[in-house]
Amino acid sequence: MRVNEEILGTFGVEEYKKKGFVPGETYIYPTAPQMGIEEVINLVDVATELPNGLQLEGKYTKSFRRKLLDYYGNNTRDVRLTNSGSSANLLAVTAITNRVFGERAAKPGDEVITVAAGFPTTVNPIIQNNLIPAFLDVDLDTCTPNITEIEMSIVKGKTKAVMIANPLGNPVDSESIREICDEFNIFFIEDNCDGCGSTLNGKKAGTFGDISTLSFYPAHQLCGGEGGAVITKSPMLDKVVDSYRSWGRDCWCEPGKDNTCGRRFSQPCKTLPDGYDHKFMYSNIGYNLKGTEFSAALLDAQIDKLDYFVAMRRLNWDRLRKGLDKYSKYFKFMQPTPNSEPSWFGFMMTIKEPSPFTRLELVQYLEEHKVGTRLLFGGNLLRQPMYKGITYQVNSELPYTDYICKNSFWIGVHPSLHEEEINYMISTIGAFMDKHK
């Protein structure tokens, strides 16, 4: 459809244009999406196509799925859109509990190796599926776990998966994890919610796992308002994920379509009456976690800009790293995993001990001077109130996780930031340091 200027004005296109930055007055958000006219046109298109525009898997969903599959190349089987990255993680873990995987399937009481330094919804699905998280510490430079410790933590017959996120877009050593999981015939779930666009040894993060996940929350590399995706490597995993995502149904017809199998009223099921409609047969205890056409409309425009978004995140990260290098005596800066090119989610700084100042003092100073900050999510998740009383395994001490919980924070590198804002962030940290040397 053709969208006229009046309609575009209604959607506040002018708001997407850069407003003047006033140092010390304009708040610098640690995360922000970058949107343009293309996204607005797609949203207007969906809205003006109602009610057909409300199809769960309409033209924009199909187009975005196709583009995302093309982006990941031959390393993926299929993509299923969800309503969030957290839901994508829930689907990924639930999928490996399915009985179709036989002895490989995770059963209540089995273990999944993960880390405590991260976001809750990497770990929550493990607990929600009555599995036991087995926690490892992370390296203080890269925030990723030691590969040898992963291998040593595997208990044959009890460990059924490794599920680890790429922290702030920095890839874990997924190549080595893939080899370990293959050796022990266990699943590798790659939480790539923070790392869309990252690479390891020239290969895209999100292509190493049996299952990988993405988030399209506004803070991430692609913004769908909300939304996420589950990416699978095998037809069986895709079928299981799609069933759990769609109420647990047995039918594989796309929404709004019937009789794809040609046996809608003749699919066998011993416990249901003869001729029972296959669209209403349920083989799993599932959810409704599907994505929406509105999110897909945004994402279909966003993915065309992904390479630019990733390049800007890397550029802003490099600017901060060079500008703050003079303070290396006081800070440990996050380092890229060897042979990786992160699609940075944020710029993390860890205060070295002993220090003449605390993280709280610095973070409060930055916030007072309009520089937004964030911690590394849950810090040490085992210190969070929600995990009190859960069953878990700690396969190593967690000194670095505790250190991060106490001393680390990050500031923004998103593509909406301009050089003047990066320079202001550097100078504001410099002003604080001048007072505390």
Cβ 313 vs Cβ 30: under 8 Å: no
How many C-beta atoms lie closer than 10 Å to residue 324's C-beta? 20
Maximal CA-CA distance, the chain: 80
3-state secondary structure of 381: helix
- Would residue 418 show up in a list of annotated catalytic residues for this protein? no
Instruction: Pinpoint the alpha helices (H) of 76-191.
Output: 85-95, 120-128, 147-153, 174-184
Cβ 395 vs Cβ 149: under 8 Å: yes
Q: Which candidate in 220, 278, 369, 414 is catalytic? A: 220
Dist. CA 188–CA 160, nearest whole Å: 9
Dist. CA 228–CA 39, nearest whole Å: 17
How many C-beta atoms lie closer than 10 Å to residue 366's C-beta? 20
CA dihedral of residues 199, 200, 204, 205 (deg, nearest 10): -90
b vs e for 55-92, b when ≥16 Cβ sit within 10 Å of the residue's Cβ?
Answer: bbbbbbbebbbebbbebbeeebebbbbbbbbbbbbbbb
Dist. CA 431–CA 437, nearest whole Å: 10
Dist. CA 105–CA 253, nearest whole Å: 26
- What distance, in Å, lies between the first and last C-alpha atoms of the chain? 60
Residues in the chain: 437
Dist. CA 102–CA 160, nearest whole Å: 12
Spatial neighbors of 328 by CB under 8 A, at least 6 apart, are: none
DSSP-assigned beta bridge partners for residue 211:
189, 232
Q: Which residue has the tokens 């009985």?
A: 99
Cβ 203 vs Cβ 156: under 8 Å: no
Active site residues: 220
